[in-house]
Amino acid sequence: MENQNSKIKIAFIGYGYWGPNLARNFFQLPEVEISYICDQNHEKLAHLNRIYPAAKLATDYQEVLDDPETKAVCIATPLSTHFKIAKAALLAQKDVLIEKPMVENSKEAKELIDLAKEKGRILMVDHTFIYSGAVQKIKDLLDKDELGKLYYYDSERINLGLIRSDANVISDLAVHDLSIIDYLFSQKPLAVSALSFNHISQNQSETASINIRHENDFISFVRVSWLSPLKIRKTIIGASKKMVLYNDVESDEKIRIYDKGIDVNPSQVTPFAPLYRSGDIVIPKIDQTETLKKAAQHFVDCVNLRKQPLSNGEAGLRVAKLLEAISESVKEKGREILIS
């Protein structure tokens, strides 16, 4: 077990879009000292001494990895570089947190998992939303079987931009839902079918629709877009006892639990005389702590206690397999692809 009486020195590799959010939240934790901030953009580094005066600045991540006092690194670089940097960090005996998605393919994910086990290092993927109070509440409902038999997960995650050159809308937005689905449901995904479209960029899709077929007749629908005039983050979970609306753009009422459903009238031979059930709507109180701060705290706790994170390498691998199947289905114009 790491010495819990001293601060953990953590370095940040990549200070582009997500890196500043990671650094800000880790900086707020009393157990953490930011040892390095590394980015190839000199202009981004220029003002950071005023924000993080104790942090050293670097443009070469190998300088960070060579520092024996740095115990962990957070990687928020372009996806194509995740594997190379994470592998080097594990070989340098650092614990690693990687921005989602973990890597570009399942082969790379498996190699990082094996290497982390060999070196006795923590490997965590920043599947941020599974640490949110809302998703944790839904998980609690599912664990207590308050929803009944699960029918579907239906999510719409759309906004205007940010159109990226280093990622498509699936790896940028849909991966949030893939990680939530992986965390919440025990029903194994069996196959996917997906379509995506390029309206502006020649290289990256801006809209996509994904269907995931699971065990026990459960199905997930995920729609994502960078081309919506509205920002919508809305998910419905349909089930036999109760149904859940998760609206992440709401500030106070992110979760609504509906006691609504349909029962077949047992006195009828055919199922065409259903009984519609409409009961109370419950708006539970949920933890309002900033989600990324909770994820940061979880990583620190895992480093200190040497325990496996909720979003460990295995979770990253399962999401990588889903992304691979989705990519293949997109190339095949929506053909259903079995998940290995």
CA–CA gap between residue 47 and residue 31 (Å, rounded): 24
Looking at 3.30.365.10, 3.30.360.10, 3.30.200.20, 2.120.10.30, the CATH number of the domain 130-289+322-338 comes to: 3.30.360.10
Q: What is the pLDDT of residue 1?
A: 45
Question: For residue 316, what are its two tokens?
Answer: 């990253």
DSSP H helices in 92-129 = 106-119
Structure-derived torsion over alpha carbons of residues 91, 92, 95, 97, reported in degrees to the nearest 10: -80
Q: Dump the DSSP string for 4-66.
A: TTSPEEEEEE--SSSHHHHHHHHHT-TTEEEEEEE-S-HHHHHTHHHH-TT-EEES-HHHHHT
Q: What is the mean pLDDT of residues 150-165?
A: 92
Q: What is the 3-state secondary structure (H, E, C) of 227-279?
A: EEEEEEEEEEEEECCCEEEEECCCCCCCEEEEEEEEEECCCCCCCCCEEEEEE
pLDDT above 70 (res 5): no
289 vs 260 pLDDT, higher one = 289
pTM of the model: 0.93
CA–CA gap between residue 151 and residue 243 (Å, rounded): 10
Q: Write down the domain spans for the chain.
A: 8-129+291-311, 130-289+322-338
**Predicted confidence (pLDDT) per residue in 32-85, tens digit:** 999 999 999 998 898 898 999 999 999 999 999 999 999 999 999 999 999 999
At the top level of CATH, the class of 8-129+291-311 is: alpha beta
pLDDT above 70 (res 269): no
**Predicted confidence (pLDDT) per residue in 272-285, tens digit:** 666 777 788 999 99
**Predicted confidence (pLDDT) per residue in 201-258, tens digit:** 888 999 999 999 999 999 999 999 999 999 999 999 999 999 999 999 998 899 999 9
How many CA atoms lie less than 13 Å away from 38 in the CB half-sphere? 23
Within 8 A by CB and 6+ apart from 277, the residues are 259, 260, 261, 262, 263
Closest CA to 142 of 274, 237, 249, 279: 237
Q: Are 318 and 107 a contacting pair, CB within 8 Å?
A: no
For residue 223, give the H/E element and its range. Answer: strand 219-225
At 262, is the pLDDT very low, low, confident or very high (cuts 50, 70, 90)? confident
**Predicted confidence (pLDDT) per residue in 177-191, tens digit:** 999 999 999 999 999
